[in-house]
Amino acid sequence: MKTLFPTLLLVMLTQVSCAQVENTPPLKTTTSKNYTLELVVPDVEIPWGMVFLPNGSLLYTEKEGKLIHFQYGKKNEISGLPTTYVRGQGGLMGLALHPDFEQNNRIYFAMATPNEDASGGNTGIYAATLLGNALKVVKMLYKAEPNTKKGQHFGSRIVFDKDGYLFFSVGDRGNRNENPQDITRDNGKIYRLNDDGSIPKDNPFVGVEGAKEAIYSFGHRNPQGLTLHPETGAVWEHEHGPRGGDEINIIEAGKNYGWPKITYGKNYSGTSITKNRSLPGMEQPFYYWVPSIAASGMAFITSNKYPEWKGNLLVGSLKKIYLERLIIRNDKVVAREKIADEIGRVRDVIMGPCGYIHIAVEYEGIYRIKPKN
C-alpha cells in the first residue's frame, strides 16, 4: 500500500443496489483527508478497460489478453476471446456494453489483432454475447489496415453515444507522416459504426472516393480517452501528444484535429515537429498539456457522492501517476487538481455502482474513491 494513504482498505466487490501556457491553471493536490481509497480488485498487472454490469459485478480487460469477470470477490476469466496480438503498447484494450445490454448481453471490445500470416497486426473492434463466463457469437466489426509490426499507438477506446452509435479510436500506429491526415487510410482516426458494424449513411465521408467511410474525424495521434458529456451528449476525446501536447478534443463529424500538421508538442528528442500551432481548416484542442501527463482514461463525474466535484472531468495520468480533476466553467478549464497522487499509472477511470469513482492502476489493481463526508 502507498504510505501516503494509510487508510487504504482492501474490500471485496459484491452485488450492489444503489501546455504550460499563460492561462494554464496551477495543479493542486488533494489529500487523503478528503477521501479514502479502497482496493476493490487486487493483483492486476495492466488493466486497460473496465465496465460494471447491471448487477454490480465488474468486467475488465488485461493487456496481455484476458477478460476478467470480478464477482463476489472472485476473478473469473472469460473464455472465447480471439487471439490477442500482444506487442508493445498493443493488446486487449477498450471495453463497452451495448446500451441495451440487459436485453441482449452484448459487449464490445478493442484488441490488437494479428494477421493470419504473422505479418503484424492492427486494432480490431469486436462484438460478442456474454453468457455466464463465456463469449458467444464473436464478430469482428472493423479492423484497421495495414498490418504492421510497429508496437505503438493502437488506441483504443470505445463509447456509445446517446443515439446508439458506436465510436472507437485507433492511433496513428507510429506512422504520422502518412496515416492521420489521409482519409483513404486507417489509423489516427475516430470512427463511427452502427451497433452491428455497418456504416451509418450520414457518416461524413460516405460516398467520398477512396475514403474509409467508417471515419468520423481525423488528424489524431493516439486517442486513449473517449467519453460522453453528460449534458450535451457530445463525444469528448483525449490523446497522447509526443513530448508535450496531450490534447482534449470535442469530436465533430468530418473535422481535422491537426496531427501532425499542428501540435503543441515536440519530438521526444526535443527537436521540432512543426512550427505550426494552428492552420486553416484544423481544429484547436479544447485543452492541452505541456508537459505531457500521458493521459489515459476519461470520465465526467455525474454522481451526487461528490457534490463539490460533480460535473468535473477526470483524466488518468500514466506518466505523472495520479488522477487529474479538471474544473470547467464557460467552456474553459479554470482549475486542476491531483487526486491519489503517486498511486501509480492510472490507465482507466469510470463511474461505478452507487456513484463511486473507480480507477484502474497498473501493477496495483482497481480502486474505489470514497469521500469521507
Known catalytic residue at 153? yes
Give CA–CA dist 254/147, Å, rounded: 25
Give SS3 for 354.
helix
Give CA–CA dist 173/9, Å, rounded: 39
Asked if residue 338 lies in contact with residue 350, where contact means CB atoms within 8 angstroms, the answer is no
* DSSP annotation string for 107-139: EEEEEEEE-TTSS-EEEEEEEEEEETTEEEEEE
Give CA–CA dist 304/309, Å, rounded: 9
| DSSP 8-state symbol, 175 | -
Give CA–CA dist 240/315, Å, rounded: 12
Q: Greatest CA span in the chain, whole angstroms?
A: 60
Question: How many other β-carbons are positioned within 10 Å of the β-carbon of residue 184?
Answer: 11
Give CA–CA dist 227/311, Å, rounded: 13
Q: Which residue in 192, 187, 152, 186 sits closest to 168, CA to CA? A: 192
DSSP E strands in 244-305: the ranges are: 246-250, 287-289, 295-300
Q: Which residue in 92, 105, 4 sits closest to 48, CA to CA? A: 92
Q: Which residue in 103, 104, 101 sits closest to 51, CA to CA? A: 101
Considering 98, 153, 220, 238, which one is annotated as catalytic? 153
Give CA–CA dist 127/142, Å, rounded: 10
The three cell numbers of residue 348 are 482507466
Q: Which residue in 80, 157, 156, 82 sits closest to 114, CA to CA? A: 82
Strands 35-42 and 9-10: parallel
CA dihedral in degrees (296, 255, 243, 238; nearest 10)? -10
Active site residues: 153
